[in-house]
Amino acid sequence: MSELGKITQEHRRRQAVVYVRQSSMGQLERNVESAARQYGLRERAVELGWPASAVAVVDEDTGRSGASSDGRLGFKELVAEVGLGHVGLILALETSRLARCSADWHRLLDLCALTGTLIADSDGVYQPSWSPIDELLREILGQARQRQVEAFTDLIRLREEEAYPVTLARAWSAISGPPGEPYLRMFTRLHDTAGEPLWAGFRRTATTDWLAPLEDGLRSLERPELATVVLAVIRGLLMDLDATGDTARTNQAFDDFLTTIDSPSRSQ
């Protein structure tokens, strides 16, 4: 989505606020150019569609450390105005400049998401309801996805000491039970909403990344061609479980499905 595509008339009916600060008086004296660029964000707000009269500048925190919001009246005022729904856009030279203390940052982002307030810097316009900084969420999403893939791949990998249907039954118990809940909750939501905008090809990757270990395991039953079927059953039953919460029924359905998977040697 383009920058302007994220901005609605509702945003423009509210104020745009430029947040200006330097961490110390020394920086304030030395970084004249940085200060000028920060004040110059007023023009960026106008370019994004706000009338000049609707662009406010908050600069009470210049010369104050960003380690905490204590003593930073400008930041506290900004948080209050966002919470009241008076702000449609916050502009800063760097978005991290808004609050270097993570608790303050998260508080502001929560309010922005709640009130539909956009955040902008010189590089782009961000929607906290999706992500404050898309690159940051891509990194978080990638790391979480990697942990999920590693954990679930280990669950479905072939083990010499047990028949593969037993491996699949144990993997299903873990994936559909408490150990798998955090991953499934996160990625079900991302698959349905934000996954694609944040990570191009997310749905395809999230759908196919278990195929290889499933094929390896099913090869022990001389049925590697069933990998897609097994994956479809697992994902379908997980969707059922997420929608209905019927653990007993979905567990029974998976057990019934496993009875249809057998090696030629066992069926003879």
* Residue ranges of domains in the chain: 3-132, 135-267
Distance (Å, whole) CA 44 – CA 121:
9
Prediction pTM value: 0.47
Q: Could you give the strand order of the β-sheet that contains 118-120, starting from the edge strand earlier in sequence?
A: 55-58, 15-19, 87-91, 118-120, 125-126
**Phi, psi of 110, deg, nearest 5:** -60, -45
The CATH architecture annotation of domain 3-132 reads 3-Layer(aba) Sandwich (3.40)
Q: Give me the tens of pLDDT residue by residue for the chain, a chain 268 residues long.
A: 677 888 999 999 999 999 886 544 444 455 566 678 888 899 999 999 999 999 999 876 453 444 444 434 577 888 888 888 899 999 987 665 454 444 666 678 778 887 889 988 877 888 876 444 455 556 556 666 777 788 888 999 999 889 999 999 999 999 888 777 766 655 565 555 444 455 556 667 767 778 889 999 999 999 999 999 999 999 899 889 888 889 999 999 999 999 998 644 444 4
What distance in Å separates the CA atoms of residue 154 and residue 194, rounded to the nearest whole number? 27
Which single residue is written with the structure tokens 């316009």? 125
The residues, ordered by sequence, that sit 6+ positions from 15 with a Cβ below 8 Å of its Cβ are 50, 54, 55, 56, 81, 86, 87, 88, 89
- Measuring CA to CA, which residue among 257, 247, 231 is closest to residue 177? 247
Q: What is the end-to-end Cα distance of the chain in Å, rounded?
A: 58
Listed in sequence order, the residues at least 6 apart from 58 whose beta carbon sits closer than 8 Å to its beta carbon are: 17, 18, 19, 20, 74, 75, 77, 78
